[in-house]
Structure 1
Amino acid sequence: MLTDSPSRRTTPDTLGADAQRGAVSLWALLGVAWILFVGQAWTRWVLSDTQFGPAPIQGPDVFDGTALVVLRVIEVVSLLIAAATIWVFLIKPLIVQRKLTLDGMIVIGSLLASGIDPLINYFHYTFAWNAHALNAGSWLAFFPLHQGPTRYAEGLAWFVPQYLYLGIGLAAIECRIILALRRRYPSIPNIRSFSVAFVAIFCVDMVIEQVFIRTRVYAFPRAWEALTLFAGTPYQFPVYESIFVAIYAAGFTYLRMSAHDSADGTPFLHRGIQRWPSQFRTPVKLLAVIGFCAVWAALAYFIPWSWMSVNPDSIITPPSYMLPGPTTP
């Protein structure tokens, strides 16, 4: 957890100024909008006769034996990491501090933000999922104006945990790096400390991605060759994937550090909360974080990724068990 290190003196005048400048209500409104959107998508998906259920496993390629065992191990480890993340950042602070902390809100917001995941295949099937993974299909069919295939396997046991450990988990590491650099070099500029942390997280994600690609959990069938490692092979990896992930984690790092550097421990997202009656402040703060998580996931990862998937020049055909099934009406 971050420790408080006030950077300026808190006075009634500064609190009043923060209340006037803050946009917490706007972020909370975005949170409400996201809950409504993802709620309708998930509800219609679960009630659907054609979209809800395990995606079909296409032949003739086979995925069994050791490969299948490795996939199950990855799923179990992912779930354990998710459980540990939820305990450390949400449940334990809630028990000890008797309140919902910023980290706890980020955990909840990240879990809800996972509903944006089908956007990665909004235009094309640019992220190939292994249909042998635990899944119930995809809810892309309930995103308006989608153009990509809708019958593929969102790996529930591993992709949802990624929203936690690639977000709040990597952000916690980044914050530790930044604070360590500040202690070692007290005059270090923020741009330098944040950049060092960014590069470290970029390298960490590069390793994580290779584990998932080499074990055939997923593949990247459409990529830009100039920015892709092992281009043209079944294991091709677009480096900009790790760049986007590092940007995603950096957003949560900045959010946490803004609370650490604030005199009153309030992150930039919650400025203006004084305008709300005390009994509504925690729900409004939570809604603001939910809004931030969804918006940041879209801006940092999904929108640029979807744009870069439109005209790639390194296109491969993944194994048949990663191909989408026929779209049903």
Structure 2
Amino acid sequence: MVDTAGRLGSAGSLSLGTRPVEARPPTRTGPVVVMATFGFLVLVFTVYVWGRWVLSGNFKPVDPGPDPISTREQVCLILLQVGGSAAVLYLYTKFLILPWRRNGRISNDGLILLMLPFMWFWDPWMNYSQNWFTYNAHLVNLGSWTAQAPSYVAPNQDRMLEPLLVGSAYVWWVFPYMLFGCWALDKMRRRRPSMGMASVLFWGILGSILVEAVIEFITVRMGFYAFPGAPDHLLLWEGTRYQYSLIYAVVAGVGCFAWVAVRYFKDDRGYTLAERGAQNLRLSPGRTTFVRFLALLGGMTIAIAVFNVGCQFLALHSGTWPEEMPSYLSTTCPDHAVDPATCGGPGLPIPRSDG
């Protein structure tokens, strides 16, 4: 069966346009058991680190420092936090609660929405090897769990922050991004049904890079976050607090397309690649749903790893931090006001956390 939405036909073949590519016949369990096992390990690790964080002395807001914040920036941050919270309620109601009440089961999108908040755990890992990205400390936050994460390298993690807004953004920003990306791919392939996998990936990634760059331009100018340690080449607004790396745009665009791909490529039962074989599990419907949740968690973790691994290239090639960085955007470099060069850059050793 051929489908224009990148799904698997009834014979188990991945449909791209009018040329189905035959896949292996489904096994008793398929990928779902492997991915669910990986997802379970991820869940245990996440709960362990978050538990250590909550019980530690780092579970408190990070001091934004003495520099004043403009009224415009304050208004933008308030609107982001209030608007994001409202969007989360809307998305959970529309895609999780109402379909669940109507059909008596959690929809595929409902499972994705339940899984996405756990992706927040991996957000600060873009700074794993060196602090080069920062959030605005005037956002509501309770610090970060990176000081409690085993093997985390970057120093000053007692001053690292993960705004609560970012946690909710993995619902109100990532999920609509996935919806939009799937819609765009569907529309593109309806217009060109003969497109092969290579073309789908090329145009999908290119479009994701462009969309991501526009969104990042806006959020950086709003003061949501900053890239003070971005490499000293291919920079827009270089040397200012608003500098933006075009290399990062590519890394982020590829990472965001990986999120879209998790939702887009499905079989004729509506299962993602991570969930394939779930229909063969000899479990109750409720337990099968939980296994699918774990498989999605594992699949999405691999997708976000694509982004974080790319970010380490930028971290390891960090540039000198701009002098104009305000204290609330430079919390992980406590000596920035004295000498920005101490924050990192060419020719400087990369300090390690003492944790």
TM class, shorter-chain normalised? Answer: 0.7 to 0.9
The match for 2:226 is 219
Q: How far, CA to CA, are the matches of 2:96 and 2:177 in structure 1?
A: 16
Letter in 2 for 1:167: V
Which has the higher mean CA deviation after the structures are superposed, 95-104 or 14-23?
A: 14-23
Q: Does the 8 A contact of 1:223 with 1:238 survive in 2? A: yes
The match for 2:108 is 102
1:129 to 132, 135, 143: 135
Q: How far, CA to CA, are the matches of 2:202 and 2:27 in structure 1?
A: 31
1:142 to 138, 143, 148: 148
2:164 to 149, 156, 161: 156
Higher share of residues assigned helix? 1
The CA RMSD over aligned residues, in Å, is 2.8
User: Structure 1 residue 17: deviation in Å?
Assistant: 2.5
Cα distance change of structure 1 residues 173 and 34 upon mapping to structure 2, 3 Å threshold = same
Cα distance change of structure 1 residues 7 and 78 upon mapping to structure 2, 3 Å threshold = closer
Q: How far, CA to CA, are the matches of 1:181 and 1:160 in structure 2?
A: 31
Letter in 1 for 2:278: I
The match for 1:26 is 34
The match for 1:206 is 213
1:278 to 276, 280, 283: 283
Q: How far, CA to CA, are the matches of 1:5 and 1:56 in structure 2?
A: 47
Matched, 1:118 2:119: no
Query: TM-score, structure 2 length as denominator?
Result: 0.81
The superposition leaves residues 168-187 of structure 1 with CA deviations (integer Å, 9 ceiling, x where unpaired) of: 32121121112112222222
Q: Secondary structure at the match of 2:233?
A: helix
Matched, 1:69 2:75: yes
Cα distance change of structure 1 residues 258 and 215 upon mapping to structure 2, 3 Å threshold = closer
Matched, 1:267 2:264: no
Q: Does the 8 A contact of 1:81 with 1:161 survive in 2? A: no
Q: Following superposition, which runs of at least 4 residues in structure 1 exceed 4 angstroms of deviation?
A: 2-7, 325-329
Q: How far, CA to CA, are the matches of 1:281 and 1:189 in structure 2?
A: 33
Q: Does the 8 A contact of 1:31 with 1:291 survive in 2? A: yes
The match for 1:307 is 313
The within-5 A match list for 1:312-323 is 312-317=318-323, 318-323=325-330
How many residues get paired?
Answer: 320
User: Structure 1 residue 275: deviation in Å?
Assistant: 4.2
The superposition leaves residues 34-74 of structure 1 with CA deviations (integer Å, 9 ceiling, x where unpaired) of: 111111111111111x2011101212x21143321221112
Q: Does the 8 A contact of 1:105 with 1:290 survive in 2? A: no
Q: How far, CA to CA, are the matches of 2:6 and 2:74 in structure 1?
A: 48
The within-5 A match list for 1:188-207 is 188-207=195-214
Q: How far, CA to CA, are the matches of 2:242 and 2:299 in structure 1?
A: 33
Q: How far, CA to CA, are the matches of 1:187 and 1:131 in structure 2?
A: 49
The match for 2:251 is 244
Cα distance change of structure 1 residues 4 and 239 upon mapping to structure 2, 3 Å threshold = closer
Q: Does the 8 A contact of 1:55 with 1:153 survive in 2? A: yes
Letter in 2 for 1:170: Y
The superposition leaves residues 206-262 of structure 1 with CA deviations (integer Å, 9 ceiling, x where unpaired) of: 222122211222110111232322222221111233323322332233233321xx2
The alignment-based identity, stated in percent, is 25
Q: How far, CA to CA, are the matches of 1:64 and 1:171 in structure 2?
A: 33
User: Structure 1 residue 314: deviation in Å?
Assistant: 4.7
Q: Does the 8 A contact of 1:22 with 1:268 survive in 2? A: no
User: Structure 1 residue 165: deviation in Å?
Assistant: 4.3
Query: TM-score, structure 1 length as denominator?
Result: 0.87
Q: Does the 8 A contact of 2:117 with 2:171 survive in 1? A: yes
Cα distance change of structure 1 residues 328 and 144 upon mapping to structure 2, 3 Å threshold = closer
- Structure 1 stretches lacking a partner, 5+ long: none
User: Structure 1 residue 114: deviation in Å?
Assistant: 0.7
Q: Does the 8 A contact of 2:87 with 2:172 survive in 1? A: yes
Cα distance change of structure 1 residues 243 and 21 upon mapping to structure 2, 3 Å threshold = farther
The match for 2:339 is none
Q: How far, CA to CA, are the matches of 1:24 and 1:273 in structure 2?
A: 6
The match for 2:46 is 38
Which has the higher mean CA deviation after the structures are superposed, 70-79 or 33-42?
A: 70-79
Q: How far, CA to CA, are the matches of 2:302 and 2:5 in structure 1?
A: 27
Cα distance change of structure 1 residues 206 and 22 upon mapping to structure 2, 3 Å threshold = same
Q: Does the 8 A contact of 1:133 with 1:153 survive in 2? A: no
Q: How far, CA to CA, are the matches of 1:21 and 1:276 in structure 2?
A: 6
